[in-house]
Amino acid sequence: MTTMKNKYFGTDGIRGLVGEDPVTADFMLRLGRAAGKVLAEGDRRSIVIGKDTRISGYMFESALEAGLSAAGANIALLGPMPTPAVAYLTRTLFACAGIVISASHNPFHDNGIKFFSAEGEKLPDDIERAIEAELDQSFSTVPSAEMGKAVRIEDAAGRYIEFCKSTIPFGTQLRGLKVVIDCANGATYRVGPSVLRELGAKLIPIGNDPDGLNINDGCGSMHPEFVGQAVLEHGADVGIALDGDGDRVIMVNAKGGTVNGDELLYIIAVARQKKDQLQGGVVGTVMSNLGLELALKERNIPFLRTPVGDRHVHQALVSNNWTLGGEASGHLLCLDRTSTGDGIVSALQVLEVMVSQGKSLEELASAVQKLPQTMINVRIENHGNGHGGTDISGSETINAAVESVQDKLGAEGRVILRPSGTEPLIRVTLEGADEDQVNQLAAELADVVRAELAG
């Protein structure tokens, strides 16, 4: 494990507790000016801004808008909009960049900023470093005649809804399919249900009443048991659980069983393979369950692992000229459909397979026999900038404990220690054949890590 190379940017933008540096209004003002200077200098195309439903989003939207205008950048305001919608609209509005105000699956009291390039992709490292360098410069304002102007894109939601529907074969109907969708009281609370209704699904929406404080609160992809309960109560065929900014999806079968990103990747990959539309293989991460790797091997589908993070998955897909990859958390990339992780688009790919093959979600996912896997989060105190990055790789105590645990798990077991890129946590993950042993050893190793951090 290594420390973060950037001062502010983590693995998924800038994120932290609202009111604590750098997630403050004055920092966002300076960030807006710095981003405008780097991304839009000499370019009259707009920078689009979208946000999720957190109450702090209003404050940060205004601060970013002011900073961008001060740098001479034009602004297109989208309002509450899923992260992947911002990526899509950045491309189709021919903007020079996109900004999302969101902390994804985190609680409402966190917030953050993500950037997209003009192509709707995450910014490369050198551009992030250029923005950080500009942040160190004194705040300045261009002459009044050169200041940026802001407009609101009134039809943003409709544009994105039509795009989502276009990612499955024309004429696909979800009629007869009863679907529960949990919008996590987040950015998809309007567009998610609209997409499914327009495709004909009999819909039960939940988690679609945001109040600024309830985003991800006991709902969404972090709490699939919530949508699972609703599936059972309503006798639904399938449940869809999105996260607060709409770039992740976890699904639930008709029996209330959770179907995570590994299984969803398998379903999409096999369907693509049957249609001769799977370009190359599948990219997962070190957290992808061994069961996914073995199931893909049975289908002769190549599989690669990367470090955790959709940025790494995306890089591997592009370098191999593949199109399908993702994480067990439900952050899936279908690059033959869109440029970034999209919970609604990913769910549609699975629903289309269910309809076209006449199979249940449980049946489609049954080939993936997951090994027991458990993860324990060890909190890092005094974490400063709000994301992980603590380097514990040099700890002899922890390294010895990891080696001991690996020996006990044997050849089929895996031990993964990594700092979260979005929260002040060390994630301790174990996988093995014996669930009781995995849980016990994970707890023991987490205690070692906790004690070492405290010391």
Q: Quote the pLDDT of residue 318.
A: 96
Q: Quote the pLDDT of residue 377.
A: 94
Closest CA to 290 of 214, 235, 370: 370
Q: Quote the pLDDT of residue 11.
A: 74
Strands 74-80 and 150-152: parallel
- Residue 146 inside a domain? The answer is yes
Strands 46-51 and 97-101: parallel
Q: Which of 91, 119, 154 is the last residue of a domain?
A: 154
What mean pLDDT is predicted for residues 144-172? 97
pLDDT in tens, 272-294: 999 999 999 999 999 999 999 99
Q: Are residues 363 and 378 in the same domain?
A: no
Asked whether residue 1 carries a pLDDT value surpassing 50, the answer given is no
Q: Is 210 exposed, middle or buried (0-12, 13-18, 19+ CB in 10 A)?
A: buried
pLDDT in tens, 182-235: 999 999 999 999 999 999 999 999 999 999 999 999 999 999 999 999 999 999
Sheet of 97-101: strands edge to edge? 14-17, 110-116, 97-101, 46-51, 74-80, 150-152
Q: Is 44 exposed, middle or buried (0-12, 13-18, 19+ CB in 10 A)?
A: exposed
410 token code pair? 């044997």
Q: Are residues 31 and 121 in the same domain?
A: yes
Work out how many domains the chain is built from and give that number: 4
Q: Quote the pLDDT of residue 208.
A: 97
Neighbours of 155 (CB within 10 A): 8
Asked whether residue 396 carries a pLDDT value surpassing 60, the answer given is yes
With residue 15 as reference, give the H or E element that holds it: strand 14-17
pLDDT in tens, 66-93: 999 999 999 999 999 999 999 999 999 9
What percent of the chain is modeled with pLDDT above 90?
88
Q: Which of 337, 370, 403 is the last residue of a domain?
A: 370
| Positions marked catalytic | 104
Name the pLDDT band for 5 (thresholds 50, 70, 90): low
C-alpha distances (whole Å) from 383 to each of 20, 376, 388, 417, 423 are: 11, 18, 7, 17, 9
Q: Quote the pLDDT of residue 4.
A: 43
Which DSSP state fits 13?
Answer: B
Amino acid at 228: G
Tell me the CATH number at 79: 3.40.120.10
- Give the range of the structural domain holding residue 214, as residue numbers without chain letter: 176-257
Q: What do you get for the CA distance between the two ends of the chain, in Å?
A: 19
Q: Are residues 87 and 42 in the same domain?
A: yes
Q: Are residues 446 and 317 in the same domain?
A: no
- Residue 221 inside a domain? The answer is yes
Give the mean pLDDT of the chain.
Answer: 94
